[in-house]
Amino acid sequence: MHSSDDTVRCHRHLADEAATLAFGAQLAQSLTAGMTLYLEGDLGAGKTTLVRGLLRARGYAGRVKSPTYTLTEIYELPEFELYHFDLYRLHDPREWLDAGFRDIGSHAVSLIEWPDKAAGWLAEPDVIVRLAITGDTREVECVAVSPRGTCFLETMCTSCQSPNC
């Protein structure tokens, strides 16, 4: 899980949609208020499916849809609010500010698709989740970017534990 530069990473093969949902559920187990995860991957890579699995694991039973046209979907969970952003349609990074999203506090979790569309204005992520299409399957790589992200991945991927968490 630790790379040669000591960055904590988690790699998984996701054979189908069920595996993507299950991986989202695994992410949900260690998620805490104040975390930011960037979700990267091409169109159709499974980002919203991963979010659906995460929300289901947190007990959310309602409809989970991609916020491509609305920019954000907000889910009220018992432990925190979860903001699911899809910034694909932003034309200028300042649109992030104009929409008022910068004011989301530490009481929420932010999952941000297409973070490059608001480069320079977003909070730094704790974890970057990269999904890649490989034929009919997916590969996912999670990379810790902050100390909280390191603890998150080391808790989530129990094959590696850190005394610092």
Does 99 map to a domain?
A: yes
Does 105 map to a domain?
A: yes
Which CATH number does the domain housing residue 50 bear?
3.40.50.300
In the prediction, which pLDDT does 39 show?
96
State if pTM tops 0.85. yes
Domain that residue 76 falls in: 9-156
In the prediction, which pLDDT does 144 show?
95
Instruction: Give the tens place of pLDDT for each residue, 14-46.
Output: 999 999 999 999 999 989 999 999 999 998 888
Q: In angstroms, rounded to a whole number, what is the distance separating the alpha carbons of residues 83 and 72? A: 7
Helix 147-156, helix 17-30: angle, nearest 10: 120
Does 163 map to a domain?
A: no
DSSP 3-state of 161? coil
Domain count of the fold of the chain: 1
Does 3 map to a domain?
A: no
Q: Which residues pair with 143 in a beta bridge?
A: 9, 128
Instruction: Give the tens place of pLDDT for each residue, 34-80.
Output: 999 999 999 888 899 999 999 999 999 888 987 777 788 999 999 99
